Chain A
Amino acid sequence: MIKPKVGVVSCSGECCSLGTLSRIATRRVLEDLKAGETVTICLPLFLAGDSGERMFARQFPTVAVDGCHKLCATKAIEKYSGKTAATVDVESMLEEHGQNPPASRRLLTPEDMATVDSVAGAIAEKVDVIKGAQDA
């Protein structure tokens, strides 16, 4: 039986470096940690695209990756597409672990990349939980 892939949708917020963090962690999951098991869509397509894009969260159980407490990805997905399967709130995660956001929105340091890895790991854990529920 072919299992449906898991959607991972990042806010990619431009107003602070947390958006960069969420975006790069999402790419790491798509390209590396869960390659072949995950798919994504550009968040702005929910509003700018057609009804096909709005089927995304109904077609794929979706993890929203939000840079900050505003939770734009979660709210936009649920407004236009469907209930999210999970949310990773990067700002809350950093607060819990005492990690600092990157100083730059564009250039990440080795320390920032370690933070990317921990966020990517959290996303991958959510993917595993969703896939485990599919198996049950």
Chain B
Amino acid sequence: MSERPILIIPCSGIGKPFGTIGRDATFRVVDELRKGKAETNCLSLLVMGDETATEQIRRSDCIAVDGCPLECARKNVEIAGGNIAAHFRVMDLLRENRGLRPRQVTFLDDDGTRLSEMLAERIAVKVDELGGNSLD
């Protein structure tokens, strides 16, 4: 079990529902399901090259959450020198649940919400496996 803090980094893709699902699931985990056990930070800070965010990424175990196959969250964490302890892809979850067809990007519809709930549960289990240490 790791002693390192856990950071969940979603891609927050803005063009399709999948990015919204990953973002929503991340907030469910850090604000509700495992509040105090894991945190998130702005991926845009890493893209900008922020030194504090980069240092935080490097001393944490990171869970990357990607909406689409371009895997921006995983790639940006790796570029920043972070350790990917786990990687979740919304597309994989969608393949396992072919009856669900999320269509709304801005606010999730019922299918998108269902996928977000399922994804959040899986991320929460992974947080437990990794030890779930607070950043404080």
Contacts and interface: CB of A to CB of B under 8 A. Distances in A.
Judge: A and B partners, yes or no: yes
Contacts, number: 104
Given A44-B72, A44-B76, A49-B70, A79 B105 contact: no
A73 B44 contact: yes
Interface in A21-76: 23-24, 26-28, 31, 40-49, 70, 72-73, 75-76
Interface stretch (A11-19, A84-92, A122-130): A11-19
A73 B76 CA distance: 15
A80 B13 CA distance: 18
A14 B105 CA distance: 16
B79 interface: yes
Interface in B20-58: 23-24, 26-28, 31, 40-50
Interface residues on A, range: 20 to 34
Interface of A: 10-15, 19, 23-24, 26-28, 31, 40-49, 70, 72-73, 75-76, 79-80, 104-106
Nearest to A12: B12
Contacts of A104: 31
Contacts of B106: 24, 27-28, 31
Contacts of B41: 14-15
Contacts of B23: 12, 14
Given A14-B23, A42-B15, A75-B48, A19 B42 contact: yes
Interface string B83-113: 0000000000000000000000111000000
Given A44-B73, A48-B76, A70 B45 contact: yes
